[in-house]
Copies of this chain bind each other. A is one copy, B any other.
Amino acid sequence: MNKINENPSTLKCNHEQNSSPCFIPAQRVLNLIGKKWSIQIINVLSNGNKVRYNNLRELLQRGWKKNKISDATLSARLIELTEEGILIRDIHPEIPPKVEYSLSEKGEKLSEVLQPLIDWTIKVCHE
């Protein structure tokens, strides 16, 4: 039985199972969350927070006087994280339309497994 053909939606690499662990999905996730502002976005939206674009930009900017986030960068990150299934973009049919961003179930789990790494780097940075 070929597990990959049974469930093509989970096909994420062409790795031969049983040979060694497959790091391709980890690498792809790390590559995305290693980009500027990704982990800050995930942090702001963690624990079920639903945030609109302008509010998100304001929250990200707190504590950073010199390091302004541009609309181009923030929009690019939101699109990439949504495409990877980490964020959910909720459009409420109002006039003007109300758009809210939140973490998907996958995003909440990612936020959880990322925490030890973030805690360690924050400790190393400020100790």
Chain B binder among A32-40, A49-57, A68-76, A90-98: A32-40
Interface flag for A99 (CB, 8 Å): no
Interface flag for A79 (CB, 8 Å): no
Query: Chain A: residues with CB nearer than 8 A to chain B?
Result: 3, 10, 12-17, 19-27, 29-36, 38-40, 43, 62-67, 106, 109-110, 112-114, 116-122, 124-127
**Which B residues lie within 8 Å of A23 (CB)?**
39-40, 43, 118, 121-122
Which 8 pairs show the lowest CB-CB distances between chains A and B? Answer: A19-B63, A30-B34, A31-B34, A34-B34, A26-B121, A25-B121, A113-B116, A20-B63
A64 to B: closest C-beta gap in Å: 7
